[in-house]
């Protein structure tokens, strides 16, 4: 976020009409703005932290105000990718 903090969410799906990922946020009280960048957190253990996913293009707050959803335009046309490798450095103990 603009103040240097992070908000966590989960990539839910790809919205073909919007040409963007749908990401549900865990904290619905934060303000996320268009143009902010989205990256991996590294917390799932599958990908290292800091891999750029894309840029926020829309924000939707649910009627129940429990779930906020952001739409993230991917960094590239990933449909054209045949293979993707994510390489990270393992932290030494």
| pLDDT score of 91 more than 90 | no
What's the pLDDT score for residue 47? 74
**What are the residues whose beta carbons fall under 8 Å from the beta carbon of 57, sequence distance 6 or more?**
18, 20, 34, 71, 72, 73
Residue 72 CB neighbours (<10 A): 24
CA distance 9 to 89: 24
Mean pLDDT, range 42-71, rounded to an integer: 82
Give all domains of the chain, ordered by start, each with its CATH number. 9-80 (2.40.10.350)
């Amino acid at each position: 976020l603009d103040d240097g903090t992070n908000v966590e969410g989960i990539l839910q799906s790809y919205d073909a009409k919007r040409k963007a990922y749908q990401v549900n946020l865990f904290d619905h009280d934060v303000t996320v703005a268009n143009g902010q960048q989205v990256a991996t957190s590294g917390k799932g253990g599958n990908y290292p932290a800091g891999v750029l996913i894309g840029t926020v293009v829309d924000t939707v707050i649910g009627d129940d105000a429990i779930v906020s959803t952001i739409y993230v335009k991917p960094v590239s046309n990933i449909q054209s990718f045949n293979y993707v490798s994510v390489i990270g450095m393992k932290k030494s103990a």
